[in-house]
Amino acid sequence: MIQTAESFANSVPVVMYHHVSSSGGPLTLSPENFESQIKWLANHGYITLTADEFARFLRGAPMPRRSILLTFDDGYLDNYIHAHPILLRYGFNAVMFLVTGRVHDGVFRSIDALRAEPAHTHQACEHLVRNGRPDEMTVRWSEVEIMRAAGTFEFHSHTHSHLRWDVLCDDAIGKYQQIRADIEQSKAILTKRLGAGSQHLCWPEGYFDADYIDAAKAAGFEYLYTTRNLRRNVAGSDTLRIHRLADNGKGADWLAKKLRRYQDPLWGGAYYWFKRARQFRGEAWS
């Protein structure tokens, strides 16, 4: 079969998730809505890329026209409870950005037993973290291995502490040193646990500046993920500023609309150009 330019992706959307849970609230998608999105992708011929495949696309390698990268921030336990079985059912894969300081050892937990427990809202999860109980809301290394073996998730860095050193440090030198130490600790733990060092890093709260980028580059990270959605990811895009679509809790219809607009070679480019222009002028743009 002869493949033409139309067979390959002109852009690859990266979708950002946090929770897949029945708890409701901010940063949360219900299991039913998540499955409706994944089912829609499967029914419309999409393939989920690995982080390395996405990196090759940014460097110019051709990828199938309907390619997408799914990413999950923070490593919440509900990703193991709900997202992992759904991805497995449809043969899809995703990236999970782990806050390595929150991930503990311990035997893997039964998904059926976990589903019988009350679901935690995002606020409740963060409250547990602040009170020294992250193991109750974060995946364990044993569960990481289960998902890796199943091929549903690969794991990359979301720093070690998830702290904003630009806020916590009073001087520029101390800020840079703390950022770099944090990032390097995360990378070292992932290398020890997974057998290979990650080149993909996601910023806590989406914030970054020149010091953050310089520290990440010094630690060997080449692909830096933001919470911004102002540019399409195309071949030759800035690998230090990868833009993502933020899931807003809705189902397949929402995702279908977003992807059709994003990947339209004419309308997609124009839409994001106007979106950047409106943000520059301080105007809202959904």
pLDDT one-digit tens code per residue, 103-126: 999 999 999 999 999 999 999 999
Q: How confident is the model at residue 281 (pLDDT cuts 50, 70, 90)?
A: low
Mean pLDDT, rounded, of the chain: 94
Tell me the C-alpha distance between 29 and 21, whole Å.
6
What mean pLDDT do residues 206-225 have? 95
In this structure, of 236-240, 243-247, 280-284, the range with the lowest mean pLDDT score is 280-284
pLDDT exceeds 90 at position 278:
no
Assess contact for 201 and 221: CB atoms under 8 A.
yes
**Dihedral Cα 105, 102, 177, 204, nearest 10 deg:** 140
Tell me the C-alpha distance between 12 and 245, whole Å.
11
The sign of the torsion formed by the CA atoms of 190, 142, 154, 137 equals: negative
Q: How confident is the model at residue 279 (pLDDT cuts 50, 70, 90)?
A: confident
Q: Does residue 45 sit within a domain?
A: yes
pLDDT exceeds 50 at position 285:
no
Q: How confident is the model at residue 267 (pLDDT cuts 50, 70, 90)?
A: confident
Tell me the C-alpha distance between 116 and 268, whole Å.
43
DSSP letter string, 241-285? SB--EEP-S--HHHHHHHHHHHH-TTHHHHHHHHHHHHHHTT---
At 23, the amino acid letter reads S
Q: How confident is the model at residue 4 (pLDDT cuts 50, 70, 90)?
A: low
Q: Does residue 261 sit within a domain?
A: yes
Q: Residue 7's pLDDT is what?
A: 85
Tell the burial category of 238 from Cβ atoms under 10 Å away from its Cβ (0-12, 13-18, 19+).
exposed
Q: Does residue 112 sit within a domain?
A: yes
Q: CA distances (Å), 120 to each of 32, 53, 68, 113, 243, in order?
A: 17, 33, 28, 15, 28
Q: How confident is the model at residue 149 (pLDDT cuts 50, 70, 90)?
A: very high
Q: Residue 1's pLDDT is what?
A: 40
Q: How confident is the model at residue 202 (pLDDT cuts 50, 70, 90)?
A: very high
- The structure tokens listed for 276 are 């950047």
Q: Does residue 285 sit within a domain?
A: no
Percent share of the chain, pLDDT over 70: 95
Assess contact for 66 and 45: CB atoms under 8 A.
yes
Tell which residue, 114, 125, 96, 126, has the closest CA to residue 193. 96
Tell me the C-alpha distance between 267 and 271, whole Å.
6
Residue 70: CATH number of its domain: 3.20.20.370
Number of domains composing the chain:
1
Q: Does residue 286 sit within a domain?
A: no
In this structure, of 158-172, 185-199, 265-279, the range with the lowest mean pLDDT score is 265-279
pLDDT exceeds 50 at position 286:
no
Q: How confident is the model at residue 69 (pLDDT cuts 50, 70, 90)?
A: very high
Tens of pLDDT, residues 161-175: 999 999 899 999 999
Tell which residue, 187, 224, 177, 182, has the closest CA to residue 203. 224
Q: How confident is the model at residue 197 (pLDDT cuts 50, 70, 90)?
A: confident
Q: Does residue 63 sit within a domain?
A: yes
Q: Does residue 108 sit within a domain?
A: yes
Q: What is the DSSP letter of 239?
A: T
Rg of the chain's alpha carbons, rounded to an integer?
Answer: 19
Give the domain extent around 189. Answer: 5-280
Q: Does residue 9 sit within a domain?
A: yes
Q: Residue 284's pLDDT is what?
A: 42
For the chain, where are the alpha helices, taking DSSP H only? 31-43, 51-58, 77-78, 84-90, 111-115, 122-130, 141-150, 165-168, 172-194, 210-218, 252-263, 267-280
Q: Name the helix (H) or strand (E) containing 78.
A: helix 77-78
